[in-house]
């Protein structure tokens, strides 16, 4: 079976029925962010979710009921006081969601973390958002109240009239991710496979050297392994080539600079290690369908 990759809107159109209330709700910012109570949308699901990939992350916090889902090759029964993370790019499916399920679903594109108040070092530290990490986190009793309050605040902001305030969304979303980072470190058993360790080391090095415009072969040499071995390890964990993952990390940095700095496009090109500004522009446009200038103009209009 071919696994289909969805953006937020196409996924919603495929799996949710249309109602005036739902259309009005999702029309506010379906492409970037939503946070909703599961009980408000569970009855709108049209059919089982077949193996799919999403371009965005979805964090679900269950407070009542349970349901079964499959992420990658593992099946999970999600229970109350547990968070499950459908990481952007991960293959997932869900056979059935019972009617008594209650909780929250927070859905956001990775780019939303880049905004005016984004923090590149924090993003690289949110390991639980990376495909290959354990997607479930148990919420301890002492953390439940704080996390539920964050979800409630994000829900009320999304459901309020008008477009959600990006400053509030960024602040509470970062707070949620910071809380999850603490819980992830406390109760997650990270895979110790050789491929996982190699991928984690590669990702760390790529973030640390993002402005040097290094190639996969350069990182393989730094890690004392062959480029082929590095690529196979990364692909086994993320389903992406090492080159694609390296490009993604570069794009995050470029978007940060376009969003948060006053540097010109040519200055950003130079800072990122590109000697040819036209090649830099082609690199960005090939992966975003926008030139760096168009991306910056879009930010300024939003």
- 170 and 42 co-located in one domain: yes
Residue 15: give its domain's CATH number. 2.60.120.280
Which has more pLDDT, 26 or 109?
Answer: 109
Query: Given 129, 159, 187, which residue is the final one in a domain?
Result: 187
- 113 and 231 co-located in one domain: no
- 183 and 258 co-located in one domain: no
- Average pLDDT rounded to a whole number, residues 20-29: 59
6 - beta bridge partners?
Answer: 54
Contacts of 51 (CB under 8 A, 6+ apart): 1, 3, 70, 91, 92, 93
Range of the domain at 265: 194-301
Confidence of residue 175 (pLDDT cuts 50, 70, 90): very high
Long-range contacts of 145-153 (CB under 8 A, 24+ apart): 146/179, 147/61, 147/83, 147/176, 147/179, 147/180, 148/61, 148/63, 148/104, 150/175, 150/176, 150/179, 151/35, 151/61, 151/104, 151/106, 151/176, 152/104
pLDDT, tens digit, 9 for 90 and up, residues 220-263: 999 999 999 999 999 988 888 999 999 989 998 999 899 888 89
How many residues are given for the chain? Answer: 302
What integer pLDDT is reported at residue 19 of this predicted model?
64
- Average pLDDT rounded to a whole number, residues 10-18: 69
- 141 and 166 co-located in one domain: yes
- Average pLDDT rounded to a whole number, residues 185-203: 75
Give the range among 69-73, 117-121, 182-186, 215-219 with minimum mean pLDDT: 117-121
Do 71 and 91 meet the contact criterion of CB atoms below 8 Å apart?
A: yes
Alpha helices in 188-276 (DSSP H): 194-208, 216-222, 227-238, 242-260, 265-271
Query: Given 187, 210, 242, which residue is the final one in a domain?
Result: 187
- Average pLDDT rounded to a whole number, residues 95-103: 77
What does the mean pLDDT of the chain come to? 84
Is residue 207 over pLDDT 80? yes
Confidence of residue 185 (pLDDT cuts 50, 70, 90): confident
- 222 and 131 co-located in one domain: no
- 253 and 105 co-located in one domain: no
What integer pLDDT is reported at residue 189 of this predicted model?
52
How far is it, in rounded angstroms, from Cα 244 to Cα 230?
12
- 51 and 66 co-located in one domain: yes
- 143 and 28 co-located in one domain: yes
Q: Are strands 4-6 and 49-54 parallel, antiparallel or unpaired?
A: parallel
- 168 and 65 co-located in one domain: yes
pLDDT, tens digit, 9 for 90 and up, residues 29-72: 555 788 989 888 766 665 667 788 888 899 999 999 888 888 87
How far is it, in rounded angstroms, from Cα 216 to Cα 205?
11
73 dihedral zone (left: phi>0; alpha: psi -120 to 50; beta): alpha
How far is it, in rounded angstroms, from Cα 116 to Cα 301?
14
Query: Given 172, 187, 202, which residue is the final one in a domain?
Result: 187
Residue 250: give its domain's CATH number. 1.10.10.60
What integer pLDDT is reported at residue 47 of this predicted model?
64
How far is it, in rounded angstroms, from Cα 21 to Cα 10?
18
- 122 and 225 co-located in one domain: no
Question: Angle 292-301/242-260 helices, nearest 10 degrees?
Answer: 50
pLDDT, tens digit, 9 for 90 and up, residues 275-302: 899 999 999 999 999 999 998 888 776 6
Structurally, the chain folds into a number of domains equal to 2
What integer pLDDT is reported at residue 272 of this predicted model?
93
What integer pLDDT is reported at residue 55 of this predicted model?
84
What integer pLDDT is reported at residue 12 of this predicted model?
67
Which has more pLDDT, 24 or 43?
Answer: 43
Q: pTM for this structure?
A: 0.77
Confidence of residue 23 (pLDDT cuts 50, 70, 90): low
Confidence of residue 192 (pLDDT cuts 50, 70, 90): low
How far is it, in rounded angstroms, from Cα 119 to Cα 261?
13
pLDDT, tens digit, 9 for 90 and up, residues 117-172: 677 766 777 888 888 788 889 998 889 999 999 999 999 998 887 778 888 888 89
Q: Which helix (H) or strand (E) holds 93?
A: strand 92-97
What integer pLDDT is reported at residue 31 of this predicted model?
57
Structure tokens at 153: 């605040």
- 14 and 112 co-located in one domain: yes
- With tokens 């599961």, the residue in question is 38
- 30 and 131 co-located in one domain: yes
């Amino acid at each position: 079976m071919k696994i289909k990759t969805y953006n937020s809107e196409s996924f919603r159109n495929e799996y949710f029925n249309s109602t005036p209330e739902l259309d009005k709700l999702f029309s506010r910012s379906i492409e970037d962010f939503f946070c909703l109570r599961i009980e408000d949308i569970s009855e709108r699901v049209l059919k089982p979710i077949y193996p799919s990939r999403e371009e965005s992350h979805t964090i679900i916090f269950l407070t009542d009921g349970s349901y079964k889902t499959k992420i990658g090759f593992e099946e999970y029964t999600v229970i109350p006081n547990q968070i499950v993370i459908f990481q952007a790019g991960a293959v997932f499916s869900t056979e059935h969601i019972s009617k008594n399920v209650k909780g929250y679903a927070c859905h956001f594109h990775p780019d939303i973390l880049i905004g005016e108040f984004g923090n590149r070092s924090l993003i690289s530290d949110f390991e639980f958002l990376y495909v290959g990490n354990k997607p479930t986190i148990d919420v301890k009793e002492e953390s439940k109240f704080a996390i539920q309050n964050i979800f409630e605040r994000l829900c009320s902001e999304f459901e309020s009239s008008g477009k959600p305030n990006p400053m509030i969304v960024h602040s509470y979303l970062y707070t949620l991710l910071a809380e999850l980072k603490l819980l992830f470190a406390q109760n997650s058993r990270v895979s110790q496979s050789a491929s996982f360790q190699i991928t984690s080391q590669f990702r760390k090095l790529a973030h640390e050297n993002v402005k040097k415009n290094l190639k996969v072969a350069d990182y393989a040499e730094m890690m004392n392994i062959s480029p082929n071995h590095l690529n196979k390890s990364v692909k086994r964990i993320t389903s992406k080539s090492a080159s694609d993952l390296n490009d993604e990390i570069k794009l995050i940095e470029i978007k940060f600079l376009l969003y948060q700095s006053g540097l010109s496009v040519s200055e950003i090109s130079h800072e990122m290690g590109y000697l040819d500004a036209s090649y830099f522009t082609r690199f960005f446009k090939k992966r975003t369908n926008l030139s760096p200038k168009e991306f910056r103009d879009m930010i300024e209009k939003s």
